[in-house]
Amino acid sequence: MQRSLHSHTVPLWSGAMTTPPPLTDRNALARHRARAQALPGHGEALFLHRIARADIEERLDEVNRTFTAPAIVTPFPHVWADFPGNPRIVPDQEVLALEPGAHDLVIHAMALHWANDPVGQLVQCRRALRPDGLCIAVLPGGETLHELRASLAEAESLVTGGLSPRVLPMGEIRDLGALMQRAGLALPVADSVTQTVHYRALATLYADMRSMGETNALAGRLRRFTDRRVFAAAEAVYRRAFSTPQGQLRATFELVFLTGWAPHESQQQPLRPGSARARLAEALRVPEHRLPKDG
């Protein structure tokens, strides 16, 4: 299994995003996570969680602030062992065990994509922050497993003539960034890191997903065994469309990082309209022309 890494940052938009209906069967998710921790490949399969932790530690080094009361929301506490600041570890639940105003840093780590109310999760994080406290959320983004999603959809359509929910729909970076604004966090920023993994076969990818605790926990998932022909067809589609010259299967994992601050009077504020003291034309060193009046 080989991995390559690159990152990019995009600006946010401020449009509204409707809250989707509940998608996750939380009981099934809890069973999958418990099963994952008992599997032999669990530690190796959590490479995305380790990447998320390392990236967050780098970001905190650049903040130039010492956080003395952090909290971390995570389904796998051992990934965050020995994290600086002796953080409070909080289980990933719909109601988070966070005390209002108790923390100067809250990290929501690799769990927000399964939340039935992601805005509500971030609101709970904001309420747990002290003024000018920092919130960082990291979760898989919309590019994650797009190859698998396309291959399974095409295969199931060919074999059965229909489609069923198999891969969790994950948000695009612009929409995810808007969640921070809706939760009342100031100075929001969203950026992403993409991890490309090469697998010998789809069975190896499926095994990684089981060891991550990331198998299908959708409330609308198919409740009967899938025809084996669907998986055989998916492998054929995947190899045709997403294989490397060496015959390995590419799998994309996108990690989206959301950053925002609890509002405080010391933070930068936008200027009032019309309060500018310099002309744009002067700053750009170009001539300024008045537009003709209508009529």
Task: Identify the bridge partners of residue 173 per DSSP, sorted by sequence position.
Answer: none
Instruction: Please list, residue by residue across 180-194, b when 16 or more beta carbons sit within 10 angstroms of its beta carbon and e when fewer do.
Output: bbbbebbebbbbbbb
Which strand (E) or helix (H) includes residue 149?
Answer: helix 146-160
Residues recorded for the chain? 295
Rounded mean pLDDT of 216-240? 91
Task: Identify the bridge partners of residue 14 per DSSP, sorted by sequence position.
Answer: none
Using the predicted structure, report yes or no on whether residue 192 has a pLDDT greater than 90: yes
Centre a 10 Å sphere on the Cβ of residue 294 and count the other Cβ atoms it contains.
4
**Could you give the domains of the chain?**
2-149+166-221+250-284 (3.40.50.150)
Which strand (E) or helix (H) includes residue 47?
Answer: helix 47-63
Question: What tens digit of pLDDT does each residue of 246-289 get?
Answer: 999 999 999 999 999 999 777 666 555 555 566 656 656 666 66
Rounded mean pLDDT of 79-88? 94
pTM: 0.82
Window from 80-94, 181-195, 275-289 with minimum mean pLDDT:
275-289
Q: Mean pLDDT, the chain, as a whole number?
A: 87
What is residue 24's predicted lDDT score, i.e. its pLDDT?
94
Task: Identify the bridge partners of residue 125 per DSSP, sorted by sequence position.
Answer: none
What is residue 201's predicted lDDT score, i.e. its pLDDT?
96
What is residue 293's predicted lDDT score, i.e. its pLDDT?
62
Rounded mean pLDDT of 197-207? 96
Give the three-state DSSP class for 56: helix
What is residue 11's predicted lDDT score, i.e. its pLDDT?
39
Tell me the two tokens of residue 159. 């074999």
Vertex 76, ends 74 and 77: CA angle to 5°? 80
Which strand (E) or helix (H) includes residue 205?
Answer: helix 202-212
Using the predicted structure, report yes or no on whether residue 33 has a pLDDT greater than 50: yes
What is residue 291's predicted lDDT score, i.e. its pLDDT?
59
**Residue carrying the six token digits 């999958």:** 32
- Residue 35 phi/psi, 5-degree rounding, is -65, -40
Q: Where are the beta strands (DSSP E) in the chain?
A: 2-9, 70-73, 88-90, 103-109, 129-140, 186-199, 249-261
Window from 51-55, 106-110, 163-167, 291-295 with minimum mean pLDDT:
291-295
Using the predicted structure, report yes or no on whether residue 145 has a pLDDT greater than 70: yes
What is residue 72's predicted lDDT score, i.e. its pLDDT?
98
What is residue 279's predicted lDDT score, i.e. its pLDDT?
62
Using the predicted structure, report yes or no on whether residue 8 has a pLDDT greater than 50: no
Work out the pLDDT band at 164, boundaries 50, 70, 90.
confident
What is residue 294's predicted lDDT score, i.e. its pLDDT?
57
Task: Say how far apart CA 164 and CA 156 lie, in whole Å.
Answer: 8
Work out the pLDDT band at 99, boundaries 50, 70, 90.
very high
What is residue 162's predicted lDDT score, i.e. its pLDDT?
79
What is residue 147's predicted lDDT score, i.e. its pLDDT?
97
**Residue carrying the six token digits 């996108």:** 254
